[in-house]
Chain A
Amino acid sequence: MKERYPDVTIETICRLLIPPIQLFALYVIAHGHYSPGGGFQGGCILGASFIMMFIAYDIGEVKRKMQEKLNTILCSTGVLIFAGIGLICLILGANYLDYGILHNILPVHQAKARALGTLGIEIGVGIAVTSVMVSIFLNIATAGEHEGEP
């Protein structure tokens, strides 16, 4: 890999910009019921903020803070949250992914229970999309030859 030169302008701008971007991504995920947004869009924004961090700083330095092992675990956790909520509905006696039955265990009526089930799977999708974006970028940008444990 080529030698990396530290650049004060880029690092300062990224240090200022990345926290608002991540906050906005969480807002897009959580407010997807009432405004344009949702798990896919918010996950892409959150993944883009991490990719910005990888571009601006040294890859090894950022990888110490956001470990690759944790990222790979989060990849599957998102899908598991999605499938798990569907499985809870199945156990409670409804069809797979039929969130209306969740009002038996949540203190809300049926329509609100559907909204909460939707929120749960949006969070799962957001986690999965974020970590897949980061993983694809990390492996393609360095051709899989970045240092450290897999």
Chain B
Amino acid sequence: MKFFAFIVVLFTGALLIYGTVDMPNWGDPNSPPNSHVSPRYIEKTLEETATPNAVTSVLADYRGYDTLGETTVIFTAGVVCIMLLRRVK
């Protein structure tokens, strides 16, 4: 059983490594993730939000809904821990 799992892991790893041949190189400034929307965030963050830290402005302002959902997720996790485990002596 463990041997079978090892074979599956090796096969998946080989497939993923074959997939990296087409990926952009390390530190490529013109790779797809660095070229579409993120230059606009860096250029406009100071002008539009008066926040030099682009991570904070994207986190809280441009993508505020994402962060709201995130906060709801961790709130739910805390409530679930209390509901599952809490016993009053």
- Per-residue CB contact flags for chain B residues 64-89 toward chain A (1 = under 8 Å, else 0) read 11011001101101110110111111
- Per-residue CB contact flags for chain A residues 9-44 toward chain B (1 = under 8 Å, else 0) read 000000000000000000000001111111100000
* Contact of B71 (CB < 8 Å), options: A36, A124, A140: A124
- Per-residue CB contact flags for chain B residues 18-55 toward chain A (1 = under 8 Å, else 0) read 00000000000000000000000000000111111101
Chain B residue contacts of A106, Cβ below 8 A: none
Interface size class of B (residues with CB under 8 A): 20 to 34
A146 to chain B, nearest CB (A): 8
Chain A residue contacts of B79, Cβ below 8 A: 75
- What is the total of A-B residue contacts with beta carbons within 8 Å? 104
A4 to chain B, nearest CB (A): 17
Known: A97-B65, A114-B48. A79 touches B71 (CB 8 A): yes
Whether A147 contacts B71 by the Cβ 8 Å rule is no
- Assembly CA distance A140 to B78 (angstroms): 11
Whether B67 contacts A125 by the Cβ 8 Å rule is yes
